[in-house]
Amino acid sequence: MAFNNKTITNQANLFKIISDPTRLKIISLLFNNKKEICVSDISSHIKISHSATSHQLAKLESLGLVECLRQGHMMCYKTTNHKLNNIIKKIIKTTSL
């Protein structure tokens, strides 16, 4: 079986990004809400700074796990609808205590 190095690297980057506790908190928060959530609300909920939240959201957005929506002056995020998010959602539900 031949491995595609680019595919393997992309997969490793995905696991690296979603293995971070802060990003996992953000993903969980967004999955548990039916509508988009603004950065300030996300940062308040997970108790990190606005800029740190934006930085983590940018990483999640780069993988297509979340998308950004502008509402006036506020930037809000929601999860995207594709198979990868369904897998992550199942992992979160399975490992929740």
Is residue 36 within 8 A of residue 76, CB to CB? The reply is yes
Tens-digit pLDDT profile for residues 13-69: 878 888 899 998 998 899 888 789 999 999 999 999 999 999 999 999 988 889 999
Q: So where are the chain's domains?
A: 5-95
Entry pTM: 0.78
pLDDT for residue 1: 62
CATH 1.10.10.10, applies to 5-95: yes
How does 17-46 read in b/e, with b if 16+ C-beta sit within 10 Å? bbeeeebbbbbbbbeeeeebbbbebbbeeb
